[in-house]
């Protein structure tokens, strides 16, 4: 009887609303680095609602990501998730951050040319994000044959997100020309200020995602959404996944 109660309690703790799922339950081979659950992001701390570094998505989105991953695996590549479902409270947390009247050196790494008060007006951050519907994603590619062992060191001073990959904070992924969440024209998907190899990686990612119906956001090479899979915005916190 105790085992049954414990099992029911665990299931209740992990239940998700609507048609949301943990991506690990769909495809555990997809690498996850949920940055807003850490201090390694433009705010410099975990955002409200990120109680665990888990990618949560709508089921259809997860199944399509699995199909993308299967295609990439044959090329010794993998998807790497930076952000998936985002609680609405996290977007409001970003709004408060943008209005706090301070800009630190670590924050400027992500927006070296744009004041953070301008990020919403210019379309880099939204107070109501499609991420909160479970149909938007931030991601990149990992070359599984490369040395991806370098880790972010919070005590180290890194160059800004537009600098050469050797000087930027390590992300354990292919060089897309900028770091993740780089609010700069160089981060625009079709930017001409990056080299041919970096452009080729971006095109490869966009093409792989497009084959499963995902659409890229032109100002962010890392941002994709699945039209028609969204709906209402949610605000439930991201909790640890239980096996």
Q: Specify the higher pLDDT residue, 70 or 119.
A: 70
Read off the pLDDT of each residue in 124-143 and give the average, rounded to a whole number.
91
Confidence of residue 21 (pLDDT cuts 50, 70, 90): very high
Predicted confidence at residue 84, as pLDDT, reads 98
Is this prediction's pTM over 0.95? no
pLDDT exceeds 70 at position 10: no
pLDDT exceeds 70 at position 13: no
What range does the domain containing 179 cover? 18-225
Predicted confidence at residue 14, as pLDDT, reads 57
List, for residues 152-205, the tens digit of each pLDDT value. Answer: 999 999 999 999 999 999 999 999 999 999 999 999 999 999 999 999 999 999
CATH number at residue 52: 3.30.1380.10
Predicted confidence at residue 71, as pLDDT, reads 98
Closest CA to 30 of 141, 137, 131: 141
Q: Specify the higher pLDDT residue, 226 or 243.
A: 226
130 inside domain: yes
238 inside domain: no
Predicted confidence at residue 117, as pLDDT, reads 85
5 inside domain: no
64 inside domain: yes
pLDDT exceeds 70 at position 7: no
Split into its structural domains, the chain has a count of: 1
Q: Average pLDDT over the chain, rounded to whole?
A: 91
List, for residues 41-56, the tens digit of each pLDDT value. Answer: 999 999 999 999 999 9
Active site residues: 220
71 inside domain: yes
Q: Report whether 223 belongs to an annotated binding site.
A: yes
Read off the pLDDT of each residue in 9-28 and give the average, rounded to a whole number.
78
37 inside domain: yes
pLDDT exceeds 80 at position 238: yes
194 inside domain: yes
List, for residues 83-116, the tens digit of each pLDDT value. Answer: 999 999 999 999 899 888 888 888 899 999 988 8
Q: Report whether 188 belongs to an annotated binding site.
A: no
Read off the pLDDT of each residue in 130-134 and give the average, rounded to a whole number.
95
Q: Report whether 131 belongs to an annotated binding site.
A: yes
6 inside domain: no
pLDDT exceeds 60 at position 209: yes
């Amino acid at each position: 009887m105790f085992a049954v109660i414990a099992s029911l309690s665990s299931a209740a703790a992990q239940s998700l609303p609507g048609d949301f799922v943990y991506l690990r339950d769909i495809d555990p081979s997809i690498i996850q680095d949920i940055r807003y659950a850490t201090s390694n992001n433009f705010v410099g701390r975990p955002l409200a609602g990120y109680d665990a570094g888990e990618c949560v998505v709508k089921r259809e989105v997860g199944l399509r990501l699995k199909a993308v991953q299967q295609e990439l695996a044959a090329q010794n590549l993998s998807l790497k998730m930076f952000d998936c479902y985002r609680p609405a409270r996290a977007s409001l947390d970003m709004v408060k951050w943008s209005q706090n009247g301070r800009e630190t050196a670590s924050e400027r790494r992500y927006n070296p040319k744009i004041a953070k008060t301008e990020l919403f007006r210019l379309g880099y951050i939204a107070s109501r994000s499609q991420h909160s519907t479970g149909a938007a994603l931030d991601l990149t590619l990992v070359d599984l044959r490369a040395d991806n062992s370098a880790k972010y060191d919070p005590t180290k001073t890194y160059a800004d997100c537009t600098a050469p990959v050797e000087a930027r904070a390590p992300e354990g992924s292919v060089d897309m020309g900028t770091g993740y969440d780089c609010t700069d024209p160089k981060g625009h998907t079709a930017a001409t200020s990056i080299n041919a190899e970096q452009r080729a990686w971006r095109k490869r990612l966009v093409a792989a995602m497009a084959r499963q119906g995902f659409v890229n956001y032109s100002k962010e090479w890392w941002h994709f959404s699945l039209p028609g899979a969204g709906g209402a915005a949610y605000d439930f916190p991201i909790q640890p996944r239980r096996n």
